[in-house]
Amino acid sequence: QLTTMRVALQLLFLLGVASIPGSVFPQRTQSQIKVREYLSENPEIGPWLDGLGMFDVYGSIWFTAIYVLLMVSLIGCIIPRTRVHAKALFMPPPASPKHLNKFSNYHAFNVKALDLKIIESVLRNEKYRVRLEHDHVAGEKGYLRETGNLLFHIALLFILIAVAVGSLFGYRGQIIVREGVGMTNVLAQYDTFAPGALFNTDWLEPFQVELQQLEVDFQLAGDTPGQALDFRAYLKHSEADGEEIESVIGVNSPLDIGNASMFLLGHGYAPVFEIKDASGNVIFNDSVIFLPQNGNFLSTGVIKVPDMDPQYGFDGIFAPTAAINDEGNFESIYPDVVDPIIFLAAFKGDLGLDEGVPQNVFQLNTEELEQVGMKTLSLGDTWEFEDGSIRFKRIDRFATFNIASDPGQNLALIAALLAIIGVTLSLYVQRSRVWVRYVSAPEGYVVEIAMISRHEDQDLESALVHITSECKRALGVEESTQENNDGNQ
């Protein structure tokens, strides 16, 4: 028993220490990009650390090994204790030892006449479970302490199970949706997608979402002008049955659709462009996602126009409220749209889109291209270049959503709440045993009372004093009667 507790303690320590590197090194589960950066900045030790699993600590073999061992020792502890406790719950408290005066919490007093039934009811009134014998009464209370302790440890086990279920059968992914554009919940729509090891893509909840409007409140005046106060996405979604429902997702209020939940993470601008070719045909008329680079939403984006002849690509910088800073650079001084300006650099040549190699939509590979020119456009402006024209038509917004499904989360929540209840009971409920026995004396009897606690209970002595005076009162003994504290006869 002792050895298993020692092992459990060591494993607990180990688990704590083992989780440290995950907060020091970048983790694949959080940011692939940061891990790649780290590896390229530290070519010497990077791969070595990678081999040790330092970039995926919480999924590594050694981390898993520690918590599996902890689980095993937890089970090894819970089973025998549950058995013992279950037995104790259905058995009367243990009988009194022969000599009570060896206990350190011990009182005794003299009475002329005595009925143990009276003592029994005193103990019952004090919420003790009672056992009546011919020469003594035994009582025990505080069984909830052990019940709570077991509940806590069992709940911990279930939390581990819930986490495992979630990470094996769940998924999470991110999508970016522009205003006025819909998305279907299929794999191809995700910008990033991280499925659990046993996740089957058939389980993706079939639904469609259209982002109707994204609303952002900026603080206009005061101490931190421009701080985003709040933002929300107005959606129209339809589930498998095709019924359309309007809904709103706020920053802390997700939308649950079937087994999936949709969370609003961030937002940005998606300027709308109309591009015409040399003969005036509209060949592009759409919004383009510009990713924000700083708190004032200076944003960068790329427009690719493969339908033009020759193909065209634009590198753009967008500022919702533009200004020229001291160094003569273009920047944004406020995150809301007050004085929007877009700066475009146009390139022509083969964009390489036809080669079948997947390309990053946020990057324009300009090496093979010929730069045509640069231009700054205000809202509504048109830039005419030799092969056509581009007009900065309107400004839409986009929203970033997390879509996740975690089949273990309800279990985790319930288990966590039970764990809190359990640990509270096991630390606050005091468990104690009391024995009241009598010994014949020259004039009547000596009543001996002793109490023990299986844990440190500072209030044991005052509880004993209380029980003693209740017994005296019930037996009609004057409080002033001489107290016989060492009780030796």
160 versus 283: smaller Cβ distance to other proteins: 160
User: Could you please report the per-residue DSSP string of 420-448?
Assistant: HHHHHHHHH---EEEEEEEEE-SSSEEEE
Q: Please identify which residue in 156, 270, 341, 449 interacts with ligand HEM, judged by CB under 6 A.
A: 156
Residue 83 partner contact from ligand HEM, other proteins, none using kind-dependent CB cut-offs of 5 to 8 Å: none
Crossing angle (nearest 10°) for helices 143-169 and 61-90: 150
From 221-229, 276-284, 312-320, 361-369, give the range in contact with other proteins by CB under 8 A. Answer: 221-229
Choose the contact partner of 70 out of ligand HEM, other proteins, none; CB within 5 to 8 A by kind: ligand HEM
If you ran DSSP here, which 8-state letter would residue 482 be given? P
The residue (of 424 and 489) whose beta carbon lies closer to ligand HEM is 424
Among 25, 57, 66, 73, binds ligand HEM (CB under 6 A): 73
Q: How many CB atoms lie within 10 A of CB 88?
A: 15
Number of residues that bind ligand HEM (CB under 6 A): 16
How far apart are CB 9 and ligand HEM at their closest, in Å?
A: 8
Place of tokens 């959080």: 30
Q: Which residues inside 458-487 make contact with ligand HEM, applying CB under 6 A?
A: none
Min. distance of Cβ 330 from other proteins in angstroms? Answer: 19
**HSE-CB for 39 with a 13 A CA cutoff:** 16
What single-letter DSSP state applies at residue 168?
A: H
What six digits make up the tokens of 215?
């609303």
Q: CB atoms < 10 A from the CB of 98, how many? A: 7
Rounded Cα distance between 421 and 381, Å, is 64
Q: Which of 107, 136, 141, 153 binds ligand HEM (CB under 6 A)?
A: 153
Q: Does 265 bind other proteins (CB under 8 A)?
A: yes
Distance, CA of 261 to CA of 266 (rounded, Å): 16
58 near other proteins, judged by CB under 8 A: yes
Contact between 155 and ligand HEM by CB under 6 A: the answer reads no
Taking CA atoms, 172 is separated from 121, 250, 256, in Å, by 61, 19, 14
Binding region for other proteins (CB under 8 A) out of 6-14, 200-208, 234-242, 477-485: 6-14
User: How many CB atoms within 10 Å of residue 366?
Assistant: 13
Q: Which of 423, 429, 465, 474 binds ligand HEM (CB under 6 A)?
A: 423
Which of these ranges, 70-78, 376-384, 407-415, 442-450, lies near ligand HEM under the rule CB under 6 A?
A: 70-78
Strand, coil or helix: what is 86? helix
**Residue 12 lies near ligand HEM (rule: CB under 6 A):** yes
Q: Could you give the CA distance from residue 257 to residue 299 in angstroms, rounded to a whole number? A: 32
96 binds ligand HEM (CB under 6 A): no
Q: Is residue 204 a contact residue for ligand HEM (CB under 6 A)?
A: no
Binding status of residue 29 toward other proteins by CB under 8 A:
yes
HSE, side-chain direction, 13 A CA sphere, residue 460: 23
Residue 263 touching other proteins (CB under 8 A): yes
Range 305-310 contact pairs with CB under 8 angstroms and sequence separation of 24 or more: 305/275, 306/351, 306/353, 306/354, 307/283, 308/275, 308/277, 308/283, 308/348, 308/387, 308/388, 309/277, 309/387, 310/348, 310/349, 310/350, 310/387
Site for ligand HEM, rule CB under 6 A: 4-5, 8, 11-12, 70, 73-74, 77, 149, 153, 156, 423, 426-427, 455
Site for other proteins, rule CB under 8 A: 2, 5-6, 8-9, 12-13, 15-16, 19-20, 22-23, 27, 29-30, 57-58, 163, 172, 174, 219, 221-224, 227-231, 250-254, 261, 263, 265-268, 291-292, 295, 297, 400, 402-404, 406, 409, 412-413, 416-417, 419-420, 423-424, 427, 455-456, 458
